[in-house]
Structures are given as C-alpha cells and as structure tokens.
Amino acid sequence: MLRVVIWLLVLANAGYFAWTQGYLGTLGLKPVVQSEPERLQSQIRPEGLRLLNAPRPASAPAPAAAPATPATPAAPPEATVVAVADTTEAPVVAEPPASACWLASGFSSEQADVLRSALQQLDLPGGGWQLNEVRSGGRWVVYMGRYNDEQMARKKTELRDIKIEFREVSVPTLGRGLALGTFSSEASAEQALKDLSKKGVRTARVALERPEGTSFALRLPAVTEAQRNAVSGLGAALAGKRLQPCE
C-alpha cells in the first residue's frame, strides 16, 4: 500500500511540473498568465509622463551661445623660491687655552720693584699680573731653644709625654728651636706661657718670630701654561719665590 502512495505522489509532482512549464498546453492544460490590465485603465493623463534622462532628440535646436565676455588676464605665475643648501663649511673656532690663577708672596719693597720691571718686559695681557701690598702684624711664639739635633730630639719626646703640641721654628735672633704656640700679640703669648708653666714647662719664653711689616704678593689671575712658564723663567727677579696655585 505504501508503495502505491509513493508512486502516486511521484506522478502528481511530475504532472504539476509539466503543467507549470506549459508542456501540457497542446492538451489545453496550461496555467493562466497573470496580468493587471485594470492598472493601465486607471491611469490619468499618461501622455503627461516625461522621462528626465531621455536622450535629446536629434532635431532639437542647439542652445544659443552665450555672449563673449572680455577675457580676464591670467595672473602671472607666482615666483618659485628654491632653497639652495649652503655648502660653505663653518669656520672652525679654536678653543682658547686653559688658564689658571697663580700666586707668589713674601717680596720686600725692593724685590717688588725689580719684579715689576721684569714683568713689564713680558707679553702678558692687560691685568695679567698684579703686585699687591700685604700688611702683616707681628707674630709671637712661646719659644724653647736653641737646640742641636740631640737636644731637639730629647725635648720633642718630653713634650709628647706631657701632651703639648709644638712645631720647629728658626727665630732670626734666637736660632733653631720649638714653638709651643703662635700668637698675633705679645700679651696673648705671655698668657699662654703662664698656662704652659702650670703643665710643667720651665725653660720656655716669649719671642718675636716675625716683626710687623709690609710685603708684596704677585698674583697672576688667569694665565695660560705658557705665560706661567714665562713668569717662572724670570730667574733672579723672583727672589727665589715659587709660583703656587691660588687657594
């Protein structure tokens, strides 16, 4: 029974396909062509329709040419600026030589006069050297001496044992010895001597190590190495003094 139903469905589908394709038209069996004539009949003034993109008829007259107007003179072309690379090499600027400050002090008035004359012969820049007057007060010390080498060694040992500081000096009028203190006034030195005597110092005394006076100092504010060497080469004009870096 199921097989019969299947064959009937196959035959029905085949018949429907042949009918829809018009294969049964010779038998008077074909589908009705769908159309809507009533739409054409309901149009109002169909002659008024106009296609906007329809091509222009060949017989249509060409539009009149617009009257010629004076031509506006064309603007001159703008000038074109062409950047040209500067191939000129920049001049090489040499760096100035390094300079430094140097100092030598302790010149007497006579020595300063000799040194001033020698410096004026050198090719130093303006302001390249200065001779400054230095006023110094007197300097007093609590002095022990005079000692030879053996006495000096023994006295140093004694002072270390009682924890008293000292330094070696050479006082012009007294000779080689030990200074137990340095002072800017005689009164200060006398007071220090009294304090040291309480600690067991017996043979010390107050002495003038350097009298009050005036000296001169040579200052080279900013000179190159070559200029410093030129000043150092003045020989006797430097009176045995050596240039030292400024502090």
Give me the residue spans of the domains in the chain.
100-136+216-245, 139-211
What 3-state DSSP class applies to 141? strand
Across the range 215-221, mean pLDDT stands at 93
Q: State yes or no: pLDDT of 97 exceeds 60.
A: yes
48: DSSP letter: G
CATH, range 100-136+216-245 = 3.30.70
Tens-place pLDDT, residues 61-92: 555 555 555 555 555 555 555 555 555 666 65
Across the range 146-160, mean pLDDT stands at 95
Least Cα distance to 116 among 102, 91, 133 occurs for 133
**pTM score, whole prediction:** 0.42
How far apart, in whole angstroms, are the C-alpha atoms of residue 110 and residue 62? 122
Q: What is the three-state SS of 75-127?
A: CCCCCCCCCCCCCCCCCCCCCCCCEEEEEEEEECHHHHHHHHHHHCCCCCCCC
Per-residue pLDDT at 101: 94
How far apart, in whole angstroms, are the C-alpha atoms of residue 226 and residue 240? 20
Per-residue pLDDT at 54: 56
Across the range 158-164, mean pLDDT stands at 94
46: DSSP letter: G
